[in-house]
Chain A
Amino acid sequence: MSDPFGPFRDPERLRGLTERLHRLTSERPLTFMHVCGTHENAIGRFGIRSLLPPWLRVIAGPGCPVCVCPPAEIDAAVRLATDHSVILATFGDMLRVPGRISLAQARARGADVRVVRGVHDAVRLAVDHPERQVVMLAVGFETTACTTAAAVLAGPPGNFSMILAHRLIPPAMHALLGLPALRLDGFLLPGHATAVTGTVDYETFATVSGLPASVAGFEPVDILWGLERLATLAVHGEVEVANAYARAVRPAGNLRAQQATDKAFEPMDAAWRGLGVIPASGLALRAPYHKLDALARFGLTLDPDLPECLPGCQCGSVMVGLTEPEVCPLFDKSCTPTSPRGPCMVSQEGTCHSRYVYRERRDA
């Protein structure tokens, strides 16, 4: 069967949109930020930056959940795996994030660390190993939090628990407004997070910030269409949220997913690597589900004093769009995807990783 979404990868449409974008003129340079690691990866992979007019710059914000996850949560997961002999399940990108030791190093020393596709597979591990404790280190934005919520509500077995390290995007965008060195003219919004949440919170953000935004998907035509709509709004001084990913994103979002998230979790203040503690930007289990809290179950507390990055690593500043990866003295020297010094070089969605892998195309 033919792919009905194939036209969103069509070079002719991409060429037409590029020409349309170049016909727009701006009296001043414009900088748009996206807040999605999947966007950064796709922008690099498809060479989108090489298609932009000279007055338009697109930078990456705090959109990589692996990168923004602070060292305290990862360290707690390492301690559970090494000191409490649990099966520690998480997404593959989390394993090599450097810390006191990484989860990959813990595994090399004999800890039982498993890579899972999602929380459902971690629950299945608990079902298959009733004699073991299984802990999911759950990271990700709204897109992923609803899947964790679904697992919570489904009633996992008693030997399953979780470290909740989910983060919410709109509070981080508000926090970015407090960085005076960051001058932005608009936001490209993450299509899969908004497929879940809808666009209401982003309408509020546009009003508060005075910045236009557009929701974009992840095929090359989707991204360029999102940028074209955003540029048109910015050039005309219009502050609104455009939806350039209508096949996936309804204004109200996915109500069923939102209800699951709201039923399982409540907002809490949470730390972000690079941004510090942001009010109501994390999620905690609601009272009926406290028994699933791995930290409480094993008597662990998060250590807030762990260093955010190894010496010299600029991830904190790269993550908020203040530093381009190439400016970091470690980039492509002591820090590469095979030997990463910071989380931005570990994850497929990290800004440094995408820049390293796709930089030839970026300059093409």
Chain B
Amino acid sequence: MCLAIPMQLTDIDGAQGTVNTGGVSCDVRLDLVETPRVGDYVLVHAGYAIAVLDEDEAAETLALLTEMGVLDNEAPA
């Protein structure tokens, strides 16, 4: 029920928008997010965007994982 799909905003018309993931697009309500912009990735839950995903934070998490050495291991044969 708390399933939320990251989808990219491709169009905004007031509180209504269009989101797309992998070529599938659908309508989304934007009532619950501050100043969404076309191109943003939003978490879509029950037809509403409930959060704008922060791509810088995503990059930081991945950099931290790399720094911790999670990519250093040889893949087992």
Interface residues of A (CB under 8 A from B): 1, 3-5, 7-8, 12-13, 15-17, 19-20, 36-38, 41, 63-66, 91, 93, 117-121, 139-141, 143-144, 146-147, 150, 153-154, 190, 192-193, 195-196, 218, 221, 225, 244, 246-249, 254-257, 260, 347, 349
Contact = CB atoms under 8 A, between A and B. Distances in A.
A121 B70 contact: no
A13 to B, nearest CB: 5
Contacts, number: 148
20 contacts: A1-B8, A8-B58, A13-B71, A16-B65, A16-B68, A16-B70, A37-B1, A37-B2, A38-B2, A91-B46, A119-B46, A140-B46, A143-B1, A143-B2, A144-B1, A150-B31, A225-B65, A244-B61, A347-B1, A349-B1
Given A13-B71, A150-B31, A196 B61 contact: no
Interface of B: 1-4, 6, 8, 22, 29, 31-34, 41, 43, 45-48, 50-51, 53-55, 57-58, 60-62, 65, 68-73, 75
A118 B32 CA distance: 14
A34 B25 CA distance: 31
Contacts of A119: 46-47
B65 A13 contact: yes
Contacts of B65: 13, 16-17, 221, 225
Contacts of B69: 16, 20
Contacts of B22: 3
B1 A196 contact: no
Q: Which of B2, B22, B50, B53 is the most central at the interface, judged by chain A CB atoms within 10 Å of its CB?
A: B2
Contact of B48 (A147, A244, A255): A147
A254 B35 CA distance: 12
Contacts of B57: 246-247
B32 A254 contact: yes
B57 to A, nearest CB: 4
A67 to B, nearest CB: 10
A118 B28 CA distance: 11
A20 B2 contact: no
A140 B4 CA distance: 13
Contact of B6 (A1, A5, A13, A190): A5
